[in-house]
Structures are given as structure tokens and as C-alpha cells.
Chain A
Amino acid sequence: MNEPQVAAAEKSHGTVELRIPSKAEWVAVARLTVAAIANRLPFSVEDIEDLKLAIAEACTYVIQAGGLSDTIDITCESGVDHLTIRVRDGGAIRPDSSLRRPSGGSIEGLGIFLIQALMDDVQHTPDGDSRGELIMTKRVGS
């Protein structure tokens, strides 16, 4: 990043927490919130679209898998040159979820595969109480 970009990004440093009902009609709220946060960093339009799709896929996975919670907790940590999104999944996302590209028109695993493809770093951390956390990071200019 050049100096003006770094200065702008430093002003955008912060954490935003969002809790949405674990229902399809609320996924757009998560998507738009992440887009608004990403827009404060010097991400390209394409990167912001990637982030929107990644958060939507994470929420959709949780909803469709039927987690243990009625809500999805999302934390967005805005750094100088990156955005990290943590999704508390209520135990819906299995650590062994396939991250391979689906073949032959298979739908299974498509959402998780897209997250992996669009974000720079994706981790899943089961925390022992059945509420795992999906942590995904996108870096500016990557």
C-alpha cells in the first residue's frame, strides 16, 4: 500500500460485532455490513465483492447445517491492511468440511469451497463447547 492508503487504513482500524438471527432473510444484512466495513479499507471493488460472498456463504452454511444457536455472531476486525471476519457457527461447520473444488456439477461443499477460494486465509477452530469459529482473512492488494 502507498502512504495515503496506509493512513486511510489506520483510521479504519477497529472491531465491529454483529449478531443476526440464523435465518435466510438476515444474510443480506451481514453481507451489506461487511461491505460497508471493507469499504473503509483500500480494498478494490472486486475484493469487496469477494468479502460479501464469503460472509454470505459462511452464514448460509450455518443456517442450512442447522447449528445449535438461533443466532449467528459475526466479528469483523479491521486492521491496517486486512479484514478478519470471525463467524461463530453454533457447531454447524464441521472441521472436516471439504475445501476441494466440487466436481461434476456437485452442489455439496460449494459454499465452503468458495470461501476458501476467495479469502486469503481460512481457519476453523472448534472451541470445545460445540460453538466453533470460522476465521477468514482478506488482505488488501492480495
Chain B
Amino acid sequence: MDIKVNVRESDHDAYVVELGGEIDVYTSPKVKDAITELIDQGHYNLVINLEKVRYIDSTGLGVLIGGLKRVREHGGSVSLVCTNPQIRKIFDITGLVKIFGIYDDEADAQKALV
């Protein structure tokens, strides 16, 4: 079981959190730490790229929701990049498609933050 977290600054005054692997009850704390660190540093516009994520459960969704709530307190936002149909299905089932902006690529996700 693995999770890869890569954080980089984008050209649009936002930060991209690129995730890869499986996000579950064991690995989600690492994702939470990365997002929390960015927010603590004052970065409130985030693109979270789930393109390389093979699996996500409710704890992973909880981390994303928690991050979104925190950045919104500062007027920021979170856009997701996701094309995996199984993962998009989970966002659909849970109704989180109405909470997050979900896009097919990073460019569109970044535009939505502006």
C-alpha cells in the first residue's frame, strides 16, 4: 500500500497537491498533513490532483472536505482533478460533486480557482 504526495506551486497563484496511490484510513493522515501544512502557510487556493489515485475511501474524502472547509474560512477554494470513473462515482454517490469543483485536467481546475 502506498501513497505519493507531491506539492508544487502553479503559475496561477495556487498550489497543486498531486496525489498517487491509495488513500485510506492508513494513508490519509499523510495527505491531511500536506494539505494542513499548505493552509498553515497561508495558501488557500488549492488544486488537488487525483489523476494517479487508484483508490479513495471515506477517510480520504474526509480529508478533502476538511481542507475545503478550512480554505473557505479564508476565502479560498479547492478544485479537484479526477477522471477515474470509479472515484468520480464515489463523489457522485456521496453528493460531494455539489461541494467540490471536479475537472478533467489541471488547467481547468486552476481556471476555476480564479
Contact = CB atoms under 8 A, between A and B. Distances in A.
A110 B62 contact: yes
A107 B65 contact: yes
Interface in A59-116: 59-60, 63-64, 101-103, 105, 107, 110-111, 113-114
Given A105-B69, A110-B94, A53 B26 contact: no
A133 interface: no
B88 to A, nearest CB: 12
A28 interface: yes
Given A25-B26, A27-B24, A60-B25, A113 B57 contact: no
B94 A28 contact: no
A57 B62 CA distance: 13
Interface in A16-47: 24-25, 27-28, 31, 46
Interface string B52-88: 0001011101100110110000000000000000100
B107 interface: no
B96 interface: yes
Residue of A57, A63, A110 with highest tally of chain B CB at under 10 A: A110
Contact of B58 (A46, A52, A107): A107
Interface residues of A, number: 26
Given A49-B86, A105-B65, A117-B93, A28 B22 contact: yes
Interface residues of B, number: 23
**Most chain B beta carbons < 10 A, residue from A24, A105, A118:** A105
Contact of B68 (A46, A56, A105, A113): A105
Contacts of A114: 57-58, 90, 93-94
B42 interface: no
Interface of B: 1, 22, 24-26, 55, 57-59, 61-62, 65-66, 68-69, 86, 89-90, 93-96, 99
Given A57-B57, A60-B58, A105-B69, 14 more contacts: A25-B1, A25-B26, A28-B26, A46-B89, A49-B86, A53-B55, A56-B24, A101-B95, A102-B95, A107-B62, A110-B94, A111-B58, A114-B58, A114-B94
